[in-house]
Amino acid sequence: MSFTTNIKNEILNIEYPQTELIAELSAIINIDAKIDKETFSLYTENIGVSRRIYKLIKSLFNQKIEITTEQINRLNKNYMVNILVKDKNYKILKSLSILDDNNKRKYIPEEYIIDGLEEKKAYLRGAFLICGSVNDPKTSRYHLEFIIDNKKIADFINKLLNELNFKSKVLKREKHYMVYLKESERISDFIKLLNAYNSLFYYEDIRIYRDHKNMTNRLNNCEQANIDKIVFSSNEQLENIKKLKEIYDFDLLDDKIKEICVYKEKYPESSMGELANIISIETGTTITKSGINHRFRKIKEMVSKKINL
């Protein structure tokens, strides 16, 4: 069973007040319904969602409903469920703000459908039930989307999401529009909005694990980069010391320059910080990492000056 199906099944087991159920059903029908003169119908592959739609229409409007199923994948035993409403369909559609008083199609519901925060959440819940999906957090990317045929509805869903600070976007696809979220924290917040807490805990466990793993990899990469930098710098220092001895009479050099050369050749794999500690301990004279760096720069300048003459 997919992660999306788990979330939807969890939502379907929660009871909500009637005002929220009206907003939820309005979203479902607005997005998915095929409206004719005498009827409207909805199609879904999710049996649980089809039962939810049946229950909502029956309980809110005491309406007669016809349900048929069609097998669309024999191997996986997937079915497409068709929900057909014939009688009093105009009354239902007007009540849900799908049609106006002149029986013309509306795509943006009236304010009374979503006049409160909980109603807005319910509308988004209905949208998710009928056309939403979320990638399992175990996959390589975080992604939540709504696939919607009508641009006005897609823009409205996007507007609702952004009113609740989800920072969603709309993308035009071939024959539909995709409203989507990419940020893992926003997706987590949306699952929380749906009250799907078991799915939320699963999502957060995986997300925390992945974030920790990514952080560990970044630290390891950073550590390796520092090691590579130290090795490169150390090799360059040893090469400059070698050239210095070839160009100059080593015995006539400044004592501080001779000292750093001797200790670097004695401890060739040491970093400048480590070299500073060794020299400070063995000579009894404190020298800092900055002082070590200054001496190596001086050696490099001496070598470069002679080579460039």
Residue 75 lies in a domain: yes
Residue 262 lies in a domain: yes
Residue 209 lies in a domain: no
CATH number of the domain to which 59 belongs: 3.10.28.10
Residue 69's DSSP bridge partners are: 81
- Please, which pLDDT band fits residue 304 given cuts at 50, 70 and 90? confident
What are the phi and psi torsion angles at 173 (to 5°)? -105, -170
Residue 265 shares a structural domain with residue 191 = no
- Please, which pLDDT band fits residue 275 given cuts at 50, 70 and 90? confident
Residue 188 shares a structural domain with residue 237 = no
Q: What is the mean pLDDT of residues 37-53?
A: 84
Residue 151 shares a structural domain with residue 245 = no
Chosen domain end from 174, 195, 216: 195
Whether pLDDT at 308 is above 80: no
252: DSSP letter: G
Tell if the pTM clears 0.85, that is, is over it: no
- Please, which pLDDT band fits residue 152 given cuts at 50, 70 and 90? very high
Q: What is the mean pLDDT of residues 103-124?
A: 92
Residue 249 lies in a domain: yes
Residue that wins the pLDDT comparison between 70 and 199: 199
Residue 176 shares a structural domain with residue 245 = no
Residue 28 shares a structural domain with residue 115 = yes
Q: How far is CA 282 from CA 277, 287, 305, in A?
A: 9, 11, 32
Whether pLDDT at 87 is above 80: no
- Please, which pLDDT band fits residue 78 given cuts at 50, 70 and 90? low
Residue 234 shares a structural domain with residue 284 = yes
Residue 89 shares a structural domain with residue 188 = yes
Q: What digits encode the pLDDT tens for the residues 177-221?
A: 999 999 989 999 999 999 999 999 999 888 888 777 667 777 777
- Please, which pLDDT band fits residue 88 given cuts at 50, 70 and 90? low
Residue 213 lies in a domain: no
Q: What is the mean pLDDT of residues 31-40?
A: 84
| 31, 101 Cβ separation under 8 angstroms | no
| 192, 200 Cβ separation under 8 angstroms | yes
User: What is the model's pLDDT at position 72?
Assistant: 55
Residue 207 lies in a domain: no
Q: What digits encode the pLDDT tens for the residues 93-102?
A: 889 999 888 8
User: What is the model's pLDDT at position 75?
Assistant: 47
Residue 206 lies in a domain: no
Residue 182 shares a structural domain with residue 55 = yes
Strand order from edge to edge, sheet including 177-181: 132-134, 144-148, 177-181, 169-172
Question: Where is average pLDDT lowest: 69-83, 95-109, 229-243?
Answer: 69-83
Residue 30 shares a structural domain with residue 134 = yes
Distance, in Å, from the CA atom of 157 to the CA atom of 169, rounded to the nearest integer, reads 10
Residue 90 lies in a domain: yes
Q: What is the mean pLDDT of residues 48-55?
A: 88
Residue 68 shares a structural domain with residue 15 = yes
- Please, which pLDDT band fits residue 71 given cuts at 50, 70 and 90? low
Residue 72 shares a structural domain with residue 153 = yes
> At 219, is the secondary structure helix, strand, or coil?
helix
Provide the number of structural domains found in the chain.
2
> At 89, is the secondary structure helix, strand, or coil?
helix
Q: What is the mean pLDDT of residues 63-91?
A: 70
Where in the sequence is the domain holding 156, given as residue range(s)? Answer: 3-195
Residue 244 shares a structural domain with residue 191 = no
**Kind of pairing, strands 177-181 and 144-148?**
antiparallel
Residue that wins the pLDDT comparison between 190 and 53: 190
- Please, which pLDDT band fits residue 147 given cuts at 50, 70 and 90? very high
Chosen domain end from 195, 214, 241: 195
Q: Which of 153, 149, 180 is nearest to 167 (CA)?
A: 180
